[in-house]
C-alpha cells in the first residue's frame, strides 16, 4: 500500500510532497517545478535587493567627500535606509496574505527600481538621503521570501528552506561590500566616471490581519536584536575599517564583505546559539576582523533560528506575522543608527572644540 508521500509523488510534482502539496526535502541543486524554482527565484530576487540596498555604504569614503557629507548626514541617511522598510515590511506581510508573495514582491521590486537607478545622480545630502530612504523599501522582499518558502515546504524542512533562502539572499550585502569598490576602481583605471552619488567627480581616496498571539511580538523583538544589528553594521563596517585602520577603499570593502559573506552558512545553521558580547576597543586589524566574523556567525545564526519559528506562530496570519517579525529587525536598526549618529555628532563636536 502506497504511503501518503508516494501517493502525492506520483502526481504532478517532481519532489515528494505531503498532503498539503508541500515539499518534504530540499535538494539545493535542483530546479524541480514548482518548489525549487520558487526557492531559487526567491533568494536571487532578495540577493538583488540586498545588493542594491548596500551598494552605497562601501563607497561612503568617496561619497562623503564628493557630496561634502557630515557625520550627521551619513547617520541620517543610514536611519532613513532602514526606517522606510519598517512600514514596507508590515505592508508586505498583508500584501502576501491578499495577493500572494510572487505578485507582491514583483510589484515592490519594480517600484524601487527608479530609486536604485537615480542614486547615481544624487548631488546633495538631501538627494542622498531620499535615495537611501526609497531604496530601503526593497528589503521588504524578505517577507515575501519567507512567506513563499513557508508555503512551498513542509514543517519538517521549512526552517532550513527559510534559513537557506534568507542566508543566500543576505549575501548580497556582503557581495556589495567588495563589488562596489572593485567596480569603482576598475572604472577609474579606465578613465570612466563611476556611477555613485556625486559620481561626476573624481576621487583620490581609492588609492589611499492582526495576530493575537504574544509570540508574534516576541519574534519581532528577537529579530530586532539580531537582524537589526546586522543592518546597522552593514551600513558602517566598510568606512569604519577605512577610517580606523587607514585602509584603501578596496581593501576596506574586502574586509567588510567577510561580515556579510558569513550568511552563506551561518543562517541555515538554525542552532540555539547565544550572542557573544565583547567590551572595550580592539586596536589591531587582525583582531578586529576575527571578532567581526565570529560575531557575524552568532548574529546570523540567531536570525535563521528566529524565522525558523515564524511559520509555526500562526498559519492563518502567516503574512502579518512575517511582516511584523521582519519589521522588528528594522526597528532595532533604526535605534542603533540613532545611537551611532549621536556618537558621531559628539565626536565631531569634540574635535571642533579641541581645534578651537
Euclidean distance between CA atoms 345 and 13, whole angstroms: 58
Q: What is the pLDDT of residues 6-27, one digit of tens each?
A: 444 445 788 999 998 999 999 9
Q: In 3-state terms, what secondary structure has residue 201?
A: coil
Higher-confidence residue of 310 and 136: namely 136
Q: How far is CA 276 from the centre of its chain?
A: 21
Sign of the alpha-carbon dihedral angle for 97, 101, 106, 111: positive
Short-list 338, 173, 332, 336, CA closest to 256:
173
Distance set, CA 106 to CA 50, 91, 102, 145, 287 (Å) = 15, 14, 6, 11, 42
332 band by pLDDT with thresholds 50, 70 and 90: low
DSSP 193: P
Per-residue model confidence (pLDDT) at position 103: 93
Q: In 3-state terms, what secondary structure has residue 39?
A: helix
Query: What residues form DSSP beta bridges with 153?
Result: 23
- The yes-or-no verdict on residue 212 having pLDDT over 50 is no
Per DSSP, helices labelled H in the chain are 4-9, 35-53, 60-66, 71-99, 101-118, 125-135, 141-152, 158-189, 214-224, 227-244, 249-261, 285-309, 318-355
What's the mean pLDDT in 295-303? 78
Q: What is the pLDDT of residues 108-157, one digit of tens each?
A: 999 998 988 888 888 899 999 999 899 989 989 988 998 999 899 998 88
The answer to whether 205 touches 247, Cβ cutoff 8 Å, is no
Q: What is the pLDDT of residues 59-118, one digit of tens each?
A: 888 888 888 888 888 888 888 888 878 788 888 888 988 999 999 999 999 999 898 888
Sign of the alpha-carbon dihedral angle for 94, 98, 102, 105: negative
Higher-confidence residue of 240 and 4: namely 240
- CB under 8 Å to 4, separation ≥6 — which residues? 18, 19
What are all long-range contacts of 2-11, with beta carbons under 8 Å and residues at least 24 apart?
Answer: none
Distance set, CA 165 to CA 28, 36, 225, 238, 308 (Å) = 10, 11, 20, 25, 12
Burial label for 150, CB within 10 Å (0-12, 13-18, 19+), is buried
- Write down all domains in the chain, each with its CATH number in brackets: 40-183+210-355 (1.20.1250.20)
What's the mean pLDDT in 278-299? 72
What's the mean pLDDT in 280-302? 76
Euclidean distance between CA atoms 43 and 224, whole angstroms: 21
Per-residue model confidence (pLDDT) at position 324: 76
Of 35-39, 69-73, 218-222, 330-334, the least confident: 330-334
Per-residue model confidence (pLDDT) at position 26: 92
Higher-confidence residue of 193 and 166: namely 166
Per-residue model confidence (pLDDT) at position 344: 60
Mean pLDDT value across the chain: 76
Amino acid at each position: 500500500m502506497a504511503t501518503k508521500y508516494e501517493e502525492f509523488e506520483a502526481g504532478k510534482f517532481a519532489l515528494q510532497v505531503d498532503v498539503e502539496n508541500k515539499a518534504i526535502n530540499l535538494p539545493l541543486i535542483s530546479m524541480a517545478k514548482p518548489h525549487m524554482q520558487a526557492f531559487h527565484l526567491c533568494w536571487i530576487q532578495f540577493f538583488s535587493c540586498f545588493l542594491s540596498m548596500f551598494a552605497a555604504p562601501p563607497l561612503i569614503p568617496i561619497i562623503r567627500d564628493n557630496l561634502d557629507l557630515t557625520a550627521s548626514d551619513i547617520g541620517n541617511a543610514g536611519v532613513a535606509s532602514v526606517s522606510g522598510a519598517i512600514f514596507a515590511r508590515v505592508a508586505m506581510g498583508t500584501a502576501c496574505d491578499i495577493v500572494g508573495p510572487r505578485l507582491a514582491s514583483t510589484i515592490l521590486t519594480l517600484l524601487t527600481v527608479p530609486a536604485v537607478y537615480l542614486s547615481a545622480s544624487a548631488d546633495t545630502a538631501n538627494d542622498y538621503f531620499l535615495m537611501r530612504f526609497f531604496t530601503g523599501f526593497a528589503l521588504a522582499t524578505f517577507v515575501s521570501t519567507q512567506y513563499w518558502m513557508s508555503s512551498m515546504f513542509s514543517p519538517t524542512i521549512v526552517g532550513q528552506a527559510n534559513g537557506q533562502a534568507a542566508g543566500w539572499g543576505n549575501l548580497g550585502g556582503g557581495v556589495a561590500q567588495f563589488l562596489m569598490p572593485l567596480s569603482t576602481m576598475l572604472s577609474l583605471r579606465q578613465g570612466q566616471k563611476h556611477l555613485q552619488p556625486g559620481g561626476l567627480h573624481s576621487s583620490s581616496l581609492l588609492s589611499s490581519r492582526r495576530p493575537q498571539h504574544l509570540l508574534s511580538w516576541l519574534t519581532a523583538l528577537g529579530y530586532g536584536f539580531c537582524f537589526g544589528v546586522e543592518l546597522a553594521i552593514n551600513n558602517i563596517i566598510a568606512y569604519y575599517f577605512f577610517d580606523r585602520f587607514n585602509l584603501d577603499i578596496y581593501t576596506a570593502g574586502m574586509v567588510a564583505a567577510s561580515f556579510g559573506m558569513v550568511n552563506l552558512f551561518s543562517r541555515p545553521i538554525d542552532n540555539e546559539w547565544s550572542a557573544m558580547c565583547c567590551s572595550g576597543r580592539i586596536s589591531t586589524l587582525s583582531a578586529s576582523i576575527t571578532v567581526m566574523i565570529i560575531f557575524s556567525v552568532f548574529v546570523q545564526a540567531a536570525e535563521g533560528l528566529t524565522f525558523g519559528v515564524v511559520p509555526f506562530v500562526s498559519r492563518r496570519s502567516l503574512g502579518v506575522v512575517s511582516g511584523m517579525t521582519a519589521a522588528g529587525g528594522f526597528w532595532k536598526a533604526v535605534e542603533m543608527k540613532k545611537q551611532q549618529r549621536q556618537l558621531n555628532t559628539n565626536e565631531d563636536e569634540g574635535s571642533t572644540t579641541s581645534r578651537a
